[in-house]
Amino acid sequence: MMSKKVICIGEALIDFVCTDVGENNTDREVYLRKPGGAPANVSACIGRLGGHAEFIGAVGDDAFGDYLIETLKKYHVGVSGTQKVSVPTTLAFVTLQDNGEREFIFHRGADAEFVFSEEDDGGQYSNDIFHFGSATAFLDGSLQDAYFAMAERCRENNSLVCFDPNYRVDLWKSRLEIFKAKCNAFFKLADVVKVSEEELQLLTGESDLQVGCSVIHKLGVGIIFVTMGSKGCHLSTNQEAHTIPAFKINAIDTTGAGDAFIGAMLFKLASFDSVDCMTVKELRDAVMFAQKVSATVCEKMGAMTALPTESEVQSREFEVIG
């Protein structure tokens, strides 16, 4: 069968990735322009793998906005639902630490201005997949209203709803309880959830993986993917749970690794009639594929620019971390 369309809503932004290596962040001067934004990265991953993806969000009516739209087109992502607004395109300055992890400084702009309209109500996407993985959507702005309105409409239209909280400490300092409340409200609308191990503990208050997952399952979520870096991925359904090991990599830049994982996962889920009809083996195989895509992204600079094709992933030998 032809794969379903995956529609990603949220922010497209410019990542300015620091290429300097210094003793501390004040010594670093050179930043490289890269396309980014979690949901935009996810859509690009799906398009790059050969799937059907669309991005819905707002960019500035400026050179950065033009660059993002043209970049998404190059990754075969539909952009008919992307709005151009008078506010400048959102920017994020990313400083890489010695271990490949990142620090962010956000300059929020256009993404907050996305407006929900009846044309974007999800009706034309009935039975397709909607991915809500925005790092900024729970902040103030009309994007937040659109986020919840579209998720509720998706449930009415039998579209699969996937949610990734994408917690950024820099955006939610001293407001963690607000973030947790919004996530809990969204868990009730979601069929599939992807969280990092840290996010699971943060949002549920539970350090035990399966206990934390059970908290989210009780809110109505059927499938949970807990990404754990070098420890692999914990797959939890209402019936059973499995931990799938990770692959050995030489991590250069982890920017977009989680987006690549869920993008590859959605690429695989889109080829099935429904997630309910997938066997545990099919889910495990999809996780392994997603981890290979994520691992490949970590070995290059940038989120979108590091994305592989499906054939590049399938033709490469990967070694499991023992």
- Please give the Cα distance from 237 to 248 (Å, whole number): 26
Q: Does residue 84 carry a pLDDT above 80?
A: yes
The predicted structure's pLDDT at residue 61: 98
For residue 84, the cross-strand partners are: 59
SS3 34: strand
Q: Does residue 23 carry a pLDDT above 70?
A: no
Count helices and strands in the chain by DSSP H and E runs? 9, 14
- Please give the Cα distance from 147 to 136 (Å, whole number): 11
- Please give the Cα distance from 255 to 304 (Å, whole number): 9
Backbone angles phi, psi at 278, to 5 degrees: -80, 135
Residue 124 structure tokens = 């034309």
pTM of the predicted model as reported, rounded to 2 decimal places: 0.94
Half-sphere exposure of 286 (CA within 13 A, CB side): 21
The predicted structure's pLDDT at residue 300: 86
Q: Choose the most confident range, by mean pLDDT, from 245-254, 262-271, 303-312.
A: 262-271
- Please give the Cα distance from 59 to 40 (Å, whole number): 11
Tell which phi-psi region holds residue 166, choosing left (phi > 0), alpha (psi between -120 and 50) or beta: left
Residue 156 structure tokens = 């009415």
The predicted structure's pLDDT at residue 124: 62
pLDDT tier at 118, thresholds 50, 70, 90: low
Residue 288 structure tokens = 């392994």
**Residues 261-274, mean pLDDT to the nearest whole number:** 96
pLDDT tier at 107, thresholds 50, 70, 90: very high
What percent of the chain has a predicted confidence (pLDDT) above 70? 93
- Please give the Cα distance from 61 to 265 (Å, whole number): 32
Give 262 or 316, the one with higher predicted confidence: 262
| Domains, the chain | 5-314 (3.40.1190.20)
- Got the DSSP string for 54-99? EEEEEEESSHHHHHHHHHHHHTTEE-TTEEEESSPPPEEEEEE-TT
In this predicted model, what pLDDT tens digit does every residue of 41-61 receive, in sequence order? 999 999 999 999 999 999 999
Q: Does residue 6 carry a pLDDT above 80?
A: yes
pLDDT tier at 301, thresholds 50, 70, 90: confident
Q: How many CB atoms lie within 10 A of CB 65?
A: 25
SS3 193: strand
| Cβ–Cβ under 8 Å, residues 91 and 35 | no
Closest by Cα among 141, 12, 138 to 77: 12
Q: Does residue 37 carry a pLDDT above 90?
A: yes
For residue 56, the cross-strand partners are: 9
Q: Does residue 119 carry a pLDDT above 90?
A: no
Q: Does residue 122 carry a pLDDT above 60?
A: no
What percent of the chain has a predicted confidence (pLDDT) above 90? 73
- Please give the Cα distance from 114 to 184 (Å, whole number): 23
**Residues 224-236, mean pLDDT to the nearest whole number:** 96
- Please give the Cα distance from 235 to 321 (Å, whole number): 17
Alpha-helical regions (H) of the chain? 38-49, 63-74, 142-156, 176-187, 197-204, 209-217, 257-269, 280-298, 310-314
Q: Among 169-183, 276-290, 296-310, whose mean pLDDT is lowest?
A: 296-310
- Please give the Cα distance from 260 to 266 (Å, whole number): 10
Mean per-residue pLDDT of the chain: 91
**Residues 257-263, mean pLDDT to the nearest whole number:** 96
**Residues 202-222, mean pLDDT to the nearest whole number:** 97
